[in-house]
Amino acid sequence: MYVKPRKSLGQNFLSDNYYVEQIVDALQVGSEDTFVEIGPGRGAITSWLLDRARRVIAVELDQRLCEVLRDTYSDQPQLEVVQQDFLKFRFDSLQDAEVRVMGNIPYHITSAIMFRLFEEAAAPAGPKIRDLTILMQREVAQRITADPGTKSYGVLSVFSRLHSQPEIILQVPASAFTPRPKVDSSVMQFRFHQQPLHDLADLKLFRRIVRVSFNQRRKTLRNSLRAVEEFRELVPRIKFDLTLRPEALSLDDFVRLYHEFEEADDERTY
């Protein structure tokens, strides 16, 4: 059954078998693996996962594609097709299984999916997510892996390192998709830390500090942070060098800055 891609859903199907095989090989699928596949589309990668993994949960928003997957793989009991927006998918339905997440996703929701999985993986009672492997716009992948001190370094760079070990594992040209997008892609893998790298009691505060710092990246940390009411009173108490710009700070630097704000806030309450 032919299913025409819907532009409204950001559908660009991976149609070049060479790159499909390269991606699956890079995944190093184990026979006991459980995969949650985001946006399986017509099943280009799904079929390979079914041949190698123990279980595949395909989460697809488009009802037409769900019907195709169910019909095509009706003889594959290890496949479960879930018609749902992935951002609303409940990982607690998987109980105690360790899962791996894979997807060829609409690029406009790349950040939303990343942050959803960062939060899930970091939650003390959250699911056991081993890794996330997704296709994304090449420029976004370059920002994620950028080093401090470069123009590409930013919020995604910091958060990705906090929660995982990010790595570009494959480059995929626009010609590998149908319809052909306007941008080239990268396959990005995030291997989640099994234990937190840093002790962050208030993860929301840490994220807020990082985001505010990069909101106006040409400004110094002092100017960016004191422009926000919740930080204005605390800035004079901070010993960290606030004359720096945010792109100069490593993950460890942002953690030190976070702890200073945390301490300053605690002192203010007494």
Q: Give the domains, in start order, of the chain with CATH numbers.
A: 7-192 (3.40.50.150), 203-268 (1.10.8.100)
Confidence at residue 1, expressed as pLDDT on a 0 to 100 scale? 58
* C-beta of residue 190 within 8 angstroms of C-beta of residue 100: no
The alpha carbon of 38 is separated from its chain's Cα centroid by a whole number of angstroms, namely 12
Whether 270 has a pLDDT exceeding 80, the answer reads: no
| Closest residue by Cα to residue 206 from 152, 251, 165 | 251
pTM over 0.85: yes
Confidence at residue 71, expressed as pLDDT on a 0 to 100 scale? 95
Structure token pair of residue 265: 């806030």
- What's the DSSP call for residue 149? T
Confidence at residue 52, expressed as pLDDT on a 0 to 100 scale? 96
d(CA 236, CA 151): 28
Whether 105 has a pLDDT exceeding 60, the answer reads: yes
- Each residue's pLDDT tens digit, 213-230: 999 989 999 999 999 999
Structure token pair of residue 38: 């985001």
d(CA 258, CA 240): 10
Confidence band (pLDDT; 50, 70, 90) for 16?
very high
